Structure 1
Amino acid sequence: MNGSDFMGWNAIWLAIAIFVIICIFLGVRIVPQSEKHVVERFGRLTKVLGPGINFVVPFLDRIAHKVSVLERQLPTASQDAITTDNVLVKVETSVFYRVTEPEKTVYRIRDIDAAIATTVAGIVRSEIGKLELDQVQSNRSQLIERVREQVAMMVDDWGVEVTRAEILDVNLDEATRAAMLQQLNAERARRAQVTEAEGKKRAVELSADAELYAAEQQAKAKRVTAEAEAFATAVIAEAIKENGLEAAQYQVALKQVEAFEAVAKGAGKQTVILPAAALDAFGDAFKLLRGK
């Protein structure tokens, strides 16, 4: 083998080695964790490469699309909707989604973001059109859940998963807002009047309860006084029964003494003129006292 033949064989082996290196380089594909690669062969879908090391046929297969599987957020969108009670509202929505089947996403829809945004807008208008304004404001969580379910069913053929669909705000036009403000002020005034009336009613009830309590206490005091007087009368009657006339004269004399004592204590009364009968009564009383 001469030198020219040796150099020829070396060139061939070198070409073969370079070809093998190129085949290995083209046949081995490393896919990041956040992506999936769509492989085509002669313009036709062959397979989808997942994260990690993958092998393809060199010179025949090519990576046609590199699709991110990270969660994406659509720009905040605003659309008009009309409730069943004919109130125009402006709804702000936000949608989060991620691609689960990239082969569907790249071959079935051209602009996935615009498609999802349009779908969400239509579903939001449809769902709000079934509710009154008060229901939209009070049942927002249920409304969001229904919108999420509807969107999930609509975008299933596009190989995406809607992870979140939020209604950020529901705004009213100026005329409706002014009317609702007037209604709110009227309701506040009505509640204030009701509260004031209830307070006056309560005050009257408390005053009546106080008067009733005072009357009951007075009646109770009179009843106690009457019972005491009845008891005293019974004692006197028993004494008269036992001692006869002397006990009666004694009680009469005590009453006369108390009466003259009260007259003597009057203002400007320093001299008291007593009739003879009164002096006799005092004497009888003193006799009885000494007798006791």
Structure 2
Amino acid sequence: MTFLGILFVLVLVAAFLSIVIVQQGTVAVVTIFGKYARVMGPGLNFKIPFVEVIYRRISIQNRSVELSFQAITADQANVNFKAMLVYSVLNQEEETIKNVAFKFIDEASFMQALVRTIEGSIRSFVATKRQAQILALRSEIIEHVKSQLDTLLESWGYHLTDLQLNDIAFDEVIMRSMAQVVASSNLKAAAENEGQALLITKTKAAEADGNAIKISAEAEKTASQLRGQGVALFREEVAKGMAESAKVMTEANLDASLILFSIWTEAIKHFAENGKGNVIFLDGSTEGMEKTMKQIMAVETMNSGSGTGRIITPPTTR
């Protein structure tokens, strides 16, 4: 019984040691006497006790790591980077898993090589650029790193899934100077905009004044034309009325010069009623009256001969 009991215990131990459970998202690399043998997938697996050994369990899930390092630009400016790296095993093929398991002595060595490689790639890129260019080259830096690391990481069995530059910062002195440059640029732009606005305002005001003057001139021109037309029409109507009156008086055997005399006396009456002066000087002598009548007759003679006349100068008012 004792021997059978011992044998039973040994069988249970052997059965227990032969069972291997591999978690989802993980594979197990098996060696026999230190030499690679096979890969176990997720789930329940079996191995030969004391012969096959689980050398390493490898996660095939995405993994991330944060980086923080410094680089120097071509114009000797210090740039501080904070980045996040996302990587994973390239695939689950046997050759890939063997590379992951045996290329590096442990996970820490792989991480050190990966981080230093990424830092070196970014530093070499930044060293060719000037400080003012760095902030605008975030995507170019990432593409540069990926293009340099893809082949190398594949030889290690890994794939660079994503690289994000979360923060790019300069030394405090440089940050202050950059802020001053931005502030001065903004002030310059504001001054230029203000000058342009003032120029536009004055230009528009000048155009408005010019248009107002032009409109006023056009209105004055139109008004003058209308006034001239009105005066011409008035004179025409006066001439027609005088001609009609002269015709009527001629048919009645009356002297047509009485019309001019009547107009002259009406003019004197108008001056007296509407003039602003206090005294009207008239030549009331016989000689003056005779002179006036001669002038009226002369005007009548001119009207009869040529159809035109002249204006009799009115008395002076004061």
Whether these two folds match at TM > 0.5 is yes
Which of 42, 45, 49 is the equivalent residue of 1:58?
A: 49
1:73–1:95: 8 Å Cα contact kept in structure 2?
yes
CA separation in 2, counterparts of 1:189 and 1:47? 70
- Pick the aligned partner of 2:188 from 190, 199, 206: 190
- Given residue 49 of structure 1, which amino acid in structure 2 is its aligned partner? M
Seen in structure 2, the aligned counterparts of structure 1 residues 142 and 234 have a Cα distance that, compared at 3 Å, is: same
**Residue aligned with 2:48, SS:** coil
Letter in 1 for 2:21: I
**Cα 1:263–1:127 shift into 2, 3 Å:** same
Report if the CA contact (8 A) 1:41-1:62 is conserved.
yes
Deviation of 1:160 (Å): 1.9
Query: Contact conserved, 1:105 with 1:112, CA < 8 A, in 2?
Result: no
| Cα contact 2:71–2:127 (8 A) shared by 1 | no
Which residue of structure 2 aligns with residue 119 of structure 1?
117
SS at match of 1:263: coil
Q: What RMSD in Å do the two structures reach over aligned CA positions?
A: 3.4
Say whether the 8 Å CA contact 2:29–2:36 is kept in structure 1.
Answer: yes
Instruction: Answer yes or no: is the 8 Å Cα contact 2:67–2:115 preserved in 1.
Output: no
Is 1:99 matched with 2:97? no
Q: Indicate how the Cα distance of structure 1 residues 208 and 19 shifts in structure 2: closer, same or farther if over 3 A, else same.
A: same
Sort the Cα spacing of 1:32 and 1:243 in 2 relative to 1 into closer, same or farther, 3 A. Answer: same
- Asked if 2 retains the 8 angstrom alpha-carbon contact of 1:77 and 1:117, the reply is no
Offset at residue 122 of structure 1 (A): 0.6
Choose the corresponding residue for 2:79, options 89, 95, 100: 89
- 1:119 CA displacement: 0.7
Do 2:69 and 2:80's aligned partners in 1 also have CA atoms closer than 8 Å?
yes
Cα deviation, 1:196-237, whole Å, max 9, x if unaligned, reads 322332232133113202211220221121121132133224
Q: Larger radius of gyration, structure 1 or 2?
A: 2
- Contact kept, 8 Å, 2:68 with 2:80, in 1: the verdict is no
* CA spacing shift, 1:43–1:235, aligned 2, 3 Å: same
- Residue 41 of structure 1 and its aligned partner are, at CA, apart by 0.6
Shift of 1:162: 2.0
CA distance in 2, matches of 1:42, 1:97: 31
Q: Mean alpha-carbon deviation: is it higher for 217-226 or for 154-163?
A: 154-163
User: What's 2:149 paired with?
Assistant: 151
Distance in 1 (alpha carbons) for counterparts of 2:62 and 2:267:
110
SS in 2 for 1:37: strand
**Cα contact 1:29–1:53 (8 A) shared by 2:** yes
CA distance in 2, matches of 1:256, 1:207: 53
Q: Distance in 1 between matches of 2:37 and 2:196?
A: 80
Is 1:263 equivalent to 2:281 in the alignment? no
Distance 1:251-1:236 versus aligned 2 partners, 3 A rule: farther
Task: Note if 1:29 corresponds to 2:29.
Answer: no
Say which of 199, 209, 217 aligns to 2:197.
Answer: 199
Number of aligned residues: 260
TM-score, normalising length: structure 2: 0.68
Deviates more, 1:193-202 or 1:240-249: 240-249
Q: Is the 8 A contact 2:67 2:84 kept in 1?
A: yes
1:42 and 2:49 aligned: no
Instruction: Report if aligned partners of 2:71, 2:126 keep a CA contact under 8 Å in 1.
Output: no
